[in-house]
Amino acid sequence: MSGYKIVAVALFGAAIWLIRLLVRERSPKLDFPVMGSASDSEFSQAYPDTPFIIPANPQLVILPMSMYMESKTHPAADVSAERNERFMGHWTRAGVQNSEIYSAIRQDLSKNLNIVLPLIQDETKYAFKELNIQSEWTSVNINSAMLRMIALISGRVFVGSPLSRSEEWLDASINYTRALSKVQDDYLGLGPVLSNIAAPFLGSVWRARGYMTKAQTWMRPLVAEILAAEKTMDGPSKAGVTGCFISWLLKYIPDNHKTATRVGEDQMIVSFAAIHTTSNAAAMAILDLASRPQYIGELREEVETVVAEEGEQHEDGNVYLGKAAFAKMKKLDSFIKESQRFNSLAFVTPAYKLLSNAIFSNGIKLSKGTRITFPHHGLAMSTTNKSFSLENNVEAGNAGPDVFDGFRYSRLRELPGLESKHQAASTGLDNLMFGHGPHACPGRFFAIYEVKNLLVELLLNYDFRLACTGNDHGQEAIRPANIAHKISNMPNPGAVLEVRARRS
Ligand code: HEM
């Protein structure tokens, strides 16, 4: 074949490939009402009983809660395809389904939390010490502080110290997610077809891959050491021992993939799921507390009583709390849950993508490619939601859903039959902070312990208040407003807390 024929055949092939991509990626046509515009969060309180479209980029369909459970188990609905595509997972690995991650978190981390708790507490103390708070008021940017603290605490459990405290690890575990956020912007800007072509040349993709490569390199000595130790030990490392989380991951990885490359990938994927989510939740809770100082006294009293009853002094001289102690802190648990309800980190649940046309049992038909989601914030703020409805809360004396009521859940738990319900880590069709059903967040128990430990340390050892000129003049400080952007809602990045060593 002559040269020009080869070029022509190649161009023809490329054109066919492009057309196929265009056809495959075209947004599905949907016959539902549209709410709001692509740039606002007007839909955020909506709680529909029929589907509607949010013209976000990419377009999302909010389904009624009656379709929730069916959609989570529907064979066409894929939990990771959407994430994988938006974050260019082929290149960045975000959204890949490495099953060992779910198994290690569900089967090992969550079941060994009593043993992991001292690590969380020790690292929480270390993270506070880093702030170097003395007897005078010190200004602390709450978002940055929480991000670093949660990265330190999570890292202590996921990779162990000294690596977890190294600046390089902290940078990678925090900024892999930030790089992915830029990848997402690039994907949304370029569209699916062009981003597929451009991915290998995008700076954002290379940044994310750079963090991944570093994590894989750092895992080499740890994985080698753990695999060698496991040969002489009877199975994986014990809970609480440095490297136990790596050892738990390795347990579920097939023998021919037990490599630092795979474990490093898992570590970055876990950081992506765990760090910004938990640090935002912690920042929201602290801002809620600092702006409602009337809760501080009662929460301190609860924490101090539990520490006196359940605290155990360890060899290092510090007092540690176990699961039984945290189970007694019902007001603290309630306050955290209420803060999460009031400040949804995303107004809708994570989107699932339909990989084929689907007909649901109520007759609703959705075409292949549709991204479906549920009204997380709308549900949280609805009077018809069972947990918050006036009807269900009269006996407990709780306020309606539009009021921040820090102890609404602890009051509900005083009612007969509800003692173990409405906990911060519980999921249900009445609260979707962590999702619900087969894909509910497996890290939620760990996340809630991290937030509780931060609050316990803050309440026990520090005075704190919102920074604002009003403080010095006896006025109440106003909580800096959350930043709502389309489907997401973040704590205000400029929010500053003033903190000093506790005086009273
Ligand atoms: C306050 C902090 C957190 C929030 C608000 C949160 C929220 C969520 C939500 C809403 C989902 C999706 C559920 C669904 O698809 O229906 C999820 C999934 C997930 N989360 Fe979390 N999460 C948090 C912390 C964590 C932590 C600390 C870890 C790890 C230890 C973690 C690991 C995961 C994983 C692996 C998934 C995917 C589960 C699956 O697809 O089956 N998360 N999370």
For 117-130, write each residue's pLDDT tens digit: 999 999 999 999 99
| pLDDT tens figures, 390-417 | 666 777 888 888 999 999 999 999 988 8
Please, which contacts does 176-181 make with residues 24 or more away whose CB atoms are closer than 8 Å? 176/208, 176/211, 176/212, 176/215, 176/268, 176/271, 176/272, 177/271, 177/272, 177/275, 177/276, 179/92, 179/204, 179/207, 179/208, 179/210, 179/211, 180/87, 180/92, 180/94, 180/204, 180/208, 180/272
Q: Which residues pair with 5 in a beta bridge?
A: none
* Nearest residue (CA) to ligand 1, atom 36: 441
pLDDT of 448 above 80: yes
Q: What is the pLDDT of residue 23?
A: 43
Burial class (CB in 10 A: 0-12, 13-18, 19+), 351: buried
CA dihedral 488, 381, 44, 352 (to 10 degrees): 70
* Nearest residue (CA) to ligand 1, atom 37: 441
Ligand 1 interacting residues, C-beta cut-off 6 A = 79, 101-102, 105, 270, 273-274, 277-278, 281, 345, 349-350, 433-435, 439-444, 446-447
Q: What is the pLDDT of residue 9?
A: 57
Residue 20 CA, ligand 1 centroid: distance in Å = 34
Residue 441 CA, ligand 1 centroid: distance in Å = 4
Q: Which residues pair with 354 in a beta bridge?
A: 77
Residue 102 CA, ligand 1 centroid: distance in Å = 10
Residue for token pair 């750079």? 210
Ligand 1 atom nearest 451 alpha carbon: 1
Q: DSSP assignment, residue 299?
A: H
* Nearest residue (CA) to ligand 1, atom 24: 274
| pLDDT tens figures, 331-368 | 999 999 999 999 999 999 999 999 999 999 999 999 99
Residue 38 CA, ligand 1 centroid: distance in Å = 26
Task: Return the best residue to mutate from 434, 436, 446, 488 for the ligand 1 pocket (most ligand atoms within 8 A of CB).
Answer: 434
Q: Which residues pair with 490 in a beta bridge?
A: 483
pLDDT band at residue 10 under the 50/70/90 scheme: low
Residue 440 CA, ligand 1 centroid: distance in Å = 7
| pLDDT tens figures, 204-230 | 999 999 999 999 999 999 999 999 888
More confident residue, 216 or 188: 216
pLDDT of 16 above 50: no
> What is the spatial distance between Cα 391 and Cα 387, in angstroms, rounded to a whole number?
9
> What is the spatial distance between Cα 372 and Cα 63, in angstroms, rounded to a whole number?
7
pLDDT of 240 above 70: no
| pLDDT tens figures, 416-440 | 888 898 999 999 998 999 999 999 9
Is-cis flag, bond preceding 58, omega within 30? yes
Residue 433 CA, ligand 1 centroid: distance in Å = 9
Q: What is the pLDDT of residue 426?
A: 96
Mean pLDDT in residue range 192-200: 90
Cα–Cα distance list, 202 to 83, 92, 189, 245 (Å) = 18, 11, 12, 33
Ligand 1 atom nearest 446 alpha carbon: 27
Q: What is the pLDDT of residue 360?
A: 96
Q: What percent of the chain has pLDDT over 90?
A: 73
Residue 174 CA, ligand 1 centroid: distance in Å = 16
* Nearest residue (CA) to ligand 1, atom 19: 441
Tokens coding 449: 């312990």
Strands 77-78, 483-485: pairing is: unpaired
| pLDDT tens figures, 293-317 | 999 999 999 999 999 999 999 999 9
Q: What is the pLDDT of residue 350?
A: 93
pLDDT of 480 above 50: yes
Residue 348 CA, ligand 1 centroid: distance in Å = 14
Residues present in the chain in total: 504
Mean pLDDT in residue range 231-251: 79
Ligand 1 atom nearest 345 alpha carbon: 5
Question: Which one, of 376, 501, 368, lies nearest residue 441 by Cα?
Answer: 376
Ligand 1 atom nearest 109 alpha carbon: 30
Residue 296, φ and ψ in degrees, nearest 5: -65, -45
Residue 432 CA, ligand 1 centroid: distance in Å = 11
- Residue 355 near residue 368, CB atoms below 8 Å: yes
